[in-house]
Chains A and B, each alone.
Chain A
Amino acid sequence: MSIREVLEGPLYIVRALATTFKHNARPRVTIEYPERQKVVPPRHRGRHILHRYADGLEKCVGCELCAIACPVGCIVVEAAENTPERRVSPGERYAKRYEINLLRCIYCGMCEEACPYDAITMGPRYDLADDHPDKFIAVKEDLLEPLQASLGDTARPSAAPSAQAEPRKW
């Protein structure tokens, strides 16, 4: 070790500390997760949401097009018929069972694209860690948006089953 190196040593320390203090003053890029959550872009493909119409009826008709479009086959849908006593969706048919295996899902968004009623979309949620594989089977209750969340979204696609409307008699 030369004398020069010995003398330069403290200099390096000062320079390093200077870097540290410089970054201390800069704006932070990390957040205090989980107390604070990141705001994701609007088209973020996070955990799915099953939507409702403004009147609270479910948009999903249980057509299984999402299930067949899904490249990994992680959606299971079973349909049932609406009755006057139990009306779940506007048309004749609703999804009695709707399950997504979130561990298998690759968050590609094909289901969203396949859905003819915009019933399923990819949502903002990304914090999906849990402690047992079984907890990753999202059932319909997990996926459905809460009742009030849909209020204000009044548009109902024109292709929605027309049983809702009084059939015109010829």
Chain B
Amino acid sequence: MASTVVTDQVTLTVNGQSVTVPKGTLILDAAKKIGIDIPIFCSHPKMAPVAVCRMCLVEVEKMPKLQPACAVYVADGMVVRTTTEQVQKYQKGVLEFLLINHPLDCPICDKGGECPLQDQTYQYGPGASRFDFEKAHFDKAVPLSDKIVLDRERCILCWRCTRFSEEISGERELALIQRGVHTIIGTFNDEPAQSNYQGNWTEICPVGALTSREYRFISRPWDLDRTASICPGCSMGCNIQVDARHNRIGRFQSRENLAVDDGWLCDFGRYSFPTFQRQGFEAPRVRQDGKLVEVSFEEAIAAAADGLAQARGAVAGWASPAATNEELFLFQRLFRQRLQSPHIDHRAFRPTWPDPDPDDMTLPIADLERCDYVVVLGGQEVIDAAPVLHLRLFKSERRGVKVLKIDAEQGARAREWVPADAQAVGILATVSHKKEATDLQAALGKKVKGSVRRLLVVRGPNGRGANDLGILPNFRPGYEGLNGQSGKGRAEWGKGGIGAAYIFEASPLHAFEATEDERRWLSGLKTLVMHRFRASPLDDLAHVIIPGRAFTEKAGTVTNMEGRVQRIGRAIDADAVPDDWMVLQAIARKLGAPWDYHESSDITADLLDLIPQYAAVDRGERVLWSERT
């Protein structure tokens, strides 16, 4: 009988089906592997088991009592049954207890229709309640913060939210207060919650106790049109699902991508959607005799093309790092080929910027967990630039990765802190501290045995794509130099020699943000074309205003900070406004370009011809520039 081979695998049977899983697997996960569903409320794949809801009780042979499948590890030869009469009786019992004080709020509850408690009551619960007395009442619609509404009656005390704030975000903001039937969820002293990750609570809460204020009573889940997209908040590139109703954005939900967001979103990104909500359709405007006059799109495009052509060779072009790769690809072609003006940029104003290079993204986000030392150069500044990074760093720390958060100037401290025998070192910094990051990388490269890699957080959901596609005065797409034909960067535009400017402000979150000096020289231009989604402070200086589309109204690809090319989807119809790439094409055609694209996917195809590395988009992978050499 005794097997002499020691393996890490154990074999057990669940409902008569045999399954082999690694040691240390929970019964719940082993059953899931063969498609057996065990109902749960408190268990969550990313949190340690607590077994408080008792919903997952199963029968395990040779154990006297039912066992919680979410907290018992498998053992060789274990025999588990999940559908016996006793299990069913307990499931009914647990649900009946949960429903004793759970209000019959489903019709007014935002979770109704996608609520695990509803679903499991249907599937496993009793049809009726035997509880004839008045339910316990707690406070309803408690504002937990300006983002979250808490309904204490609906809470089933699964602890998921409190465990999130302890194990996932590490902020320990939520706690269980009181005991027994009096237990409630709350913050310390009832102060408003401050976390930047509160939206995640609403997604993990298995009932409608925690709901988003922005989404309150907007829709029922079955009304929503769901479109897979990417968060427009920052260069992290978290995967989202845009839920829209009646052609209005209702909410952004997480669409788990373990390599990028690990299933979480930050509140900055999640609740940024009102910025992209269309307020109406405005007409393009052209300045005539000093006044802006409404015109048709054709006239505005003709006026823009005219004005830009007159300044041929001396046109400055700024594209937002929130524009899609397809738009940026056309943008740089328009400037380099049609306007003979390589003066393009996508960056914020700064006297000098370090040149980007493909090595800025040699450290994939998910690999942070596999480093032994991570230096966050800039500390909170890096987290603010890409908030979900904090969750990844905290997870890594819990797994034993040493993380040092220091100011960007304190590189010397990091040099001492990382020991020479480190196997894998990661450096995180924002792009404005690239120099400090590369210096540290070089120094550590000499000191430690293992690898030292860096990841720079860029600005905007497609800041990386803007670098890759050469929205820079001195690089062609693919980081190829321009052999002395470099144009002027944003910092030099004000110094003269620029006759017209085209500002493509695709997202209000990543706008041009002109400095006082810039406003001064912009106001002296003969032609300023503003192509933007929302009214911009530069509108009053513009000669031509072309309304554009929101992030949620177009399709295309964006590249996140680690070089992962991901698709955004068109969730909202805005057919009255030409797509941003169509405007760029129309202007280029006026200037003699033979372009004839009909879909943004046609542009993607051309883009792949130019930069074959971008074929990674079809595999959901990162662009590996090393393939170039």
Contact = CB atoms under 8 A, between A and B. Distances in A.
B222 A68 contact: yes
B19 interface: no
A163 B11 CA distance: 52
Interface residues of B, number: 25
B217 A81 contact: yes
Most chain A CB inside 10 Å of its own CB: which residue of B103, B107, B137: B107
A65 interface: yes
Interface stretch (A36-44, A56-64, A103-111): A56-64
Interface string A89-115: 001110000000000000000000000
A167 B216 contact: no
Contacts of B108: 61-63, 91-93, 161
A157 B220 CA distance: 23
A163 B217 contact: no
Given A81-B216, A168-B136, A163 B107 contact: no
Interface stretch (B32-40, B138-146, B364-372, B470-478): B138-146
Interface residues of A, number: 23
A167 B134 CA distance: 12
Tell me what chain A mostly uses at the interface: helix, strand, loop, or mixed.
loop
Contact of B137 (A61, A65, A81, A167): A167
Interface in B183-197: none
Interface in B174-230: 178, 181-182, 216-218, 220, 222-223
B74 to A, nearest CB: 40
Given A68-B222, A91-B108, A170-B181, A62 B217 contact: yes
Contact of B220 (A64, A161, A168): A64
A51 B103 CA distance: 23
B217 A168 contact: no
A147 interface: no
A159 B139 contact: no
Contacts of A91: 108
Contacts of A92: 108, 140-141, 217
A170 B105 contact: no
Contact of A117 (B107, B141, B218, B220): B107
Contacts of A80: 217
A170 B136 contact: yes
Contacts of A61: 107-108
A167 B138 contact: yes
A78 to B, nearest CB: 8
Contact of A116 (B103, B107, B135, B246): B107
Contacts of B136: 168, 170
A71 to B, nearest CB: 15
Given A64-B223, A170-B182, A161 B138 contact: no
B104 interface: yes
Contacts of A168: 136-137
A168 B283 CA distance: 55
Closest 7 CB pairs of A and B: A63-B107, A79-B217, A167-B137, A93-B108, A168-B137, A170-B182, A159-B104
Interface of B: 103-108, 112, 135-141, 153, 178, 181-182, 216-218, 220, 222-223, 246
Interface of A: 61-65, 68, 78-81, 91-93, 116-117, 159, 161-163, 165, 167-168, 170
9 contacts: A63-B107, A63-B108, A63-B220, A64-B223, A80-B217, A81-B216, A93-B108, A167-B137, A167-B153
